[in-house]
Amino acid sequence: MNEPPEAAVTYQSYLQLDKLLSLQTPRSTGPEHDEMLFIVIHQVYELWFKEMLHELDRVAALFRSDNPHRAQHTLKRILTILKVMVAQLDILETMTPLEFLSFRARLEAASGFQSNQFRQIEFLLGAKNENALSRFPEGSQGRIALEQRFVAPTIWDAFLHYLAREGYPVPAGHLTRDHSRLVEPTPEIQEILLDIYRKDAKSAEICERLVDLDEGIAEWRYRHVRMVERTIGNKPGTGGSRGAAYLQSTIGRNLFPDLWEIRSRL
């Protein structure tokens, strides 16, 4: 029997636009004009988070397969995405406090606090925090994904393993460490990094891209909290935190502390 002919792929079908463009559903009555922007921008962020995770996993895989050039290339792509993500906050800042208030109550307890992909990115970059797990129902897909990320090696671990294979004396404890713990600054690793900066241009370039990444995430946190301050002042967040005061407390933690420690010794 002849198979029915497959419909030709179109722009609409390939991108599943019917589905995608039916997903913006404001909750306010009217609806309030600015709620559409609020929904679209958050959805766009979640798509970028998805792409970031996709690329960060690739960086780790490229380190594992001893491919530093491709890892660096992918890191550059991630940094470019991050710049766009930070710049996008400008759009939301065109929304005044009163425009936000016109629909804020309809968000109820929903908040970026509950962004599972954002936590996955944090975990993959080494910012592990067990408390974040409890915000997702046990057994849910999001909780399982996050639990896996919680115990999995970070980008920094993948880089240290790569350096060990390149012949650098990475202490054994670092190669077998408990990945659910935060990375602490370590003198032995700092000696290796100093050596790299002085003699190994290829690995030093990667270190610089990791510093860019650390700075890029910090930039996002800083711009997000400033936007929060100008939009809701010091009101609590819909997610139940102290709002801007909580967000301020997340700024200033370095993802790759050793890379910052060595700067004053170079």
Binding site residues, ligand HEM, CB under 6 A? 41-42, 45, 92, 100, 111-113, 115, 118, 224, 227-228, 231-232, 237-241, 243, 246-247, 250
**What is the rounded distance in angstroms from the CA atom of residue 96 to the CA atom of residue 173?**
51
Residue closer to ligand HEM, measured from CB, 72 or 120: 120
Angle between helices 35-64 and 116-124 (to 10 degrees): 30
CA nearest neighbour of 120 among 62, 56, 215: 56
- Phi, psi (rounded to 5 degrees) for 32: -60, 135
Query: Least separation, in Å, of the C-beta of 262 and ligand HEM?
Result: 26
Least Å from the CB of residue 224 to ligand HEM? 6
Q: Closest separation between CB of residue 105 and ligand HEM, Å?
A: 13
Q: How far is the CB of 1 from ligand HEM (least distance, A)?
A: 50
Please say which residue, 203 or 231, places its beta carbon nearer to ligand HEM.
231
The residues near 82 (Cβ < 8 Å, ≥ 6 apart) are: 52, 213, 216, 217, 219, 220
Cis amide prior to 31 (ω within 30 degrees): yes
Distance CA 266, CA 248 (A): 30
Phi, psi angle pair for 197, to nearest 5°: -60, -30
Q: Min. distance of Cβ 210 from ligand HEM in angstroms?
A: 20
Closest to ligand HEM by CB, 42 or 73: 42
Nearest residue (CB) to ligand HEM, 160 versus 244: 244
Q: Which is nearer to ligand HEM, 120 or 203 (CB)?
A: 120
> Which residues of the chain form beta strands (DSSP E)?
none
User: Looking at beta carbons, which pairs linking 248-253 to residues 24 or more positions away fall under 8 Å?
Assistant: 250/221, 251/218, 251/221, 251/222, 251/225, 252/218, 253/127
Q: Rounded to 5 degrees, what angle do the CA atoms 78, 237, 234 make?
A: 105
Shortest CB 258 distance to ligand HEM, Å: 22
Nearer to ligand HEM among residue 174 and residue 224 (C-beta): 224
CA angle 221, 84, 113 (to 5 degrees): 35
CB of 139 to ligand HEM, least distance (A): 23
Token pair, residue 19, equals: 């589905």
* Residue closer to ligand HEM, measured from CB, 169 or 240: 240
